[in-house]
A and B are shown apart, each in its own frame.
Chain A
Amino acid sequence: MFNKTPIAAVAAASLLLIAGGCSATNAGKTEAAKPMAMAAAAPAAPAKVDYTKMSAKDLAEYLIFEAEGYDLKQATQEGTSGRDRLVQDEIQKACSLMKGQEVSDKDREKVMALAAASIKYPEGGIKLGDWKKGRELAWSGFGYRTAHNPDDHSKREAGGNCYNCHQLATDRTGGDIGPSLTGYGKNRGASEDMLKYTYDVIYNPHTYFACTNMPRMGAVGVLNHKQIADIMAYLFDPASPVNK
């Protein structure tokens, strides 16, 4: 779901174990050289580590994964685990920017290239769907929440969460972390280029805005082609309240 290969996940886990092992006060060379053995032993008897000898980043990773600060085995709606939710992919890593930190030119290029490569277009091209369905999808913040109160996707489909951050039609209150999209289609027109641009932004906005706050709704599989078409209709259809 997150474009993570199993090999990359194993490599990341091993690196973490090595990082943890190096900081372990009682870690000898043999233990550091056998990360997999440590992995097996870790849950039963966590190695005594000195937090003050670790970098903040290493400690954060240690607290999340090795110390099992989260329920790493928790089931997710996409059939993966809590651990998979927490392992960062390349875009998440490059975009975890601390205070005052900006994405480097190299990372920006990498993020945009990864994002562009992730986009899959519907067969038969980008078309507009049903704006009424799109309206409800844009409003719905349901889906993929796990933790203590998991969203049941068999009862209700996951939504687009658009109104969390955007104002769309003015009959409902939207947030303002993202720009206002009121009058979207009316102001921009519905040219082929504009439809493609909009599809890309919904699918994976890092294609144009590296390290944006906006989720990758298509790339991670929260919204499928049909749902994106419905949300796009809500944005572009002259009859949609967005354009009234």
Chain B
Amino acid sequence: MLKKNLLALPVALAVAGVAYAGSGMLPEDALEMQIKKTNSSSYLTQSPQNLMMMPDNPAWEVVEAGEALFKQPRGPKNASLEKCDFGKGPGVLEGAHAELPRYFADTGKVMDLDTRLVHCMKTLQGFTNDDPAIKQKHGSKTDIMKLQAYIGSKSSGMPWNPPMNHPLEKAMRDAGEVMFYRRSATMDFSCATCHTQTGKRIRASVLPSVYDAADWTKAISWPAHRTSHEQVRSSQHRVLECLWQMRYPDIKNGSDASIAMISFWTDAARGEPVIVPDLKR
């Protein structure tokens, strides 16, 4: 990584200026920018192997599969997802993930990438909850994961900017904040137990702090390929898995509780670049 990225760094920094104008940046370049910005934080640099593999991230195959799926007429209504509105207008994917979760007037709800995608698959394509296309949530082979990886990649390098104009967006973010600090279950853990100090470790793993936005953006940049799972994973999956370790019961996929948490954690990365698809342990 070092050799390649040392050469790539000036390019990455040059691109950085453009990225904030809305044209995006490769995830490896966005990450390199954060590493530079944090003076090589221990969280961002903990896996040299993953940094080196970023340009060859297996998630790119999933992104490509997602693009094909997105454009393909599917479902009972034989429609593509090209008219799906992720918040920036029908079919606009550039920067859409960077502004999720957000309020959608057509449902009256704050929705994250996962729930908004499912909404479009139902309304535009006619899928139902029982169809495998919607029912199967996790793993690189699922439609949901392929589509999320594709849509998410269209925000790479753009700053997280979930809107807080609608009162519901603020309410969900604030409830998510309370949940972040709320201790319960067998071990009295809250999210804050592990994610409020910079550079601390669980065993050998360096933890990201919610107070350190430059690190935090990588923590919340999903979809990402997880090398330990050999799968691309979503934000919803991250919530699920953290809570499993915390000895909580299953959080329901797409529940307002899960979206509140994702709203808070996305807000905490505001202004820092999206790194999608990322590569994580």
How far is it, in angstroms, between the C-alpha of A175 and the C-alpha of B200 when the chains are bound?
A: 7
**A175-B200, A175-B201 given as contacts; is B249 within 8 A of A220 (CB)?**
no
A95 at the binding interface (Cβ < 8 Å): yes
* Across-interface contacts of B177 in A (CB, < 8 A): 56, 98
Q: How far is the CB of B257 from chain A (nearest CB, A)?
A: 3
Is A74 an interface residue when CB atoms closer than 8 A count as contact?
Answer: yes
Which of B171, B194, B240 has a CB less than 8 Å from the CB of A148? B240
Collect the chain B residues with CB atoms within 8 Å of residue A97's CB. Answer: 181, 192
Fill in one digit per residue for B142-183: 1 if any A CB lies within 8 Å of its CB, else 0: 000000000000000000000000011011101111110111
Is B72 part of the contact surface with A, judged by Cβ < 8 Å? Answer: no
Complex-state Cα separation, A57 to B171, whole angstroms: 10
Residues from chain B with a CB closer than 8 A to the CB of A176 are: 200-201
Contact with A along B178-195 (1 / 0, CB 8 A): 110111111111101110
Closest-CB distance, A66 to chain B (whole angstroms): 10
Number of inter-chain CB pairs below 8 Å: 153
A208 CB-CB contact with B under 8 Å? no
Give the size range of A's interface with the partner.
Answer: 35 or more
Q: How far is the CA of A81 from the CA of B248 in the complex (A)?
A: 10
Per-residue B-contact encoding for A167-192, CB less than 8 Å = 1, 0 else: 00000011111000000000000000
Contact present for A174 and B187 (CB under 8 Å): no
Chain B, residue nearest A174 (CB): B203
Closest residue on chain B to residue A60 by CB atoms: B178
Closest-CB distance, B111 to chain A (whole angstroms): 14
B38 at the interface (CB under 8 A from A): no
A164 at the interface (CB under 8 A from B): yes
Complex Cα distance A164/B170, Å?
35
How many Å from the CB of A195 to the closest CB on chain B? Answer: 24
Per-position binary interface string of chain A over residues 206-228, scored 1 when its CB falls under 8 Å from any chain B CB and 0 otherwise = 00000001011000101000000
Q: Once the chains are docked, how many angstroms separate the CA of A217 from the CA of B115?
A: 38
- Does A60 lie within 8 Å of B168, measured CB to CB? no
Say whether B256 contacts A67, CB under 8 Å. yes
B260–A63 touching, CB < 8 Å: yes
Interface string of B190-208 (1 = CB under 8 A from A): 1011101100111111000
On whether the beta carbons of B184 and A147 are closer than 8 Å, the reply is no
Q: How far is the CB of A72 from chain B (nearest CB, A)?
A: 7
Contact with B along A61-97 (1 / 0, CB 8 A): 0011001111110101010011101111001100111
Q: Is B252 an interface residue (CB 8 A)?
A: yes
CB of A38 within 8 Å of the partner chain: no
CB distance B178 to A57 under 8 Å? yes
- Chain B residues with CB under 8 Å of A60's CB are 175-176, 178-179, 182, 260
With an 8 A cutoff between CB atoms, is B130 at the interface?
no
Query: What residues of A have a CB within 8 angstroms of the CB of B201 in the complex?
Result: 175-177
Considering the chains assembled together, what is the distance between the CA atoms of A76 and B196 in angstroms? 28
Are A87 and B184 interface neighbours, CB within 8 A?
yes
State whether the Cβ of B255 lies closer than 8 Å to any Cβ in chain A: yes
Over the window 13-55 of chain A, the binary record of Cβ atoms lying under 8 Å from chain B Cβ atoms (1 yes, 0 no) is 0000000000000000000000000000000000000011010
Given contacts A52-B171, A63-B255, A88-B184, A147 and B178 within 8 Å (CB-CB): no
Is A213 in contact with B249, judged by CB distance below 8 angstroms?
A: no
Tell me if B258 counts as interface (CB < 8 A to partner A). Answer: yes
Q: How far is the CA of A235 from the CA of B74 in the complex (A)?
A: 62
Which interface residue of B176, B181, B182, B197 has the most chain A CB atoms within 10 A? B182
Q: Is B69 an interface residue (CB 8 A)?
A: no
Q: Identify which of B178, B204, B247, B255 contacts A145 (C-beta below 8 A).
A: B247
Q: Are B202 and A175 in contact (CB under 8 A)?
A: yes
Given A57-B178, A60-B178, A173-B203, decide whether A145 and B257 contact each other with a Cβ distance below 8 A: no
Q: CB distance B257 to A56 under 8 Å?
A: no
B168 cross-chain contacts in A, Cβ below 8 A:
51-52
Q: Which of chain A's residues has its CB closest to B202's CB?
A: A175
Task: Tell me the bound Cα distance from A144 to B246 in angstroms.
Answer: 9
A216/B247 contact (C-beta < 8 A), A63-B175, A97-B181 known: no
Our pick among A52, A64, A215 for the contact of B179 (Cβ within 8 Å) is A64
With an 8 A cutoff between CB atoms, is A234 at the interface?
Answer: no
- B228: chain A residues at CB < 8 Å are none
The complex places the Cα of A69 from the Cα of B243 at a distance, in Å, of 12
| Residues of chain A within 8 A of B186, CB atoms compared | 78, 85, 144, 215, 220, 222
**A3 near B: Cβ within 8 Å?**
no
16 contacts between A and B (CB under 8 A): A54-B171, A59-B175, A63-B175, A70-B249, A76-B249, A96-B181, A96-B183, A98-B178, A147-B243, A147-B244, A175-B200, A177-B194, A177-B197, A177-B200, A215-B189, A220-B187
Known: A52-B170, A97-B192, A161-B187. 5 other contacts (CB 8 A): A54-B171, A78-B186, A99-B196, A175-B200, A177-B202
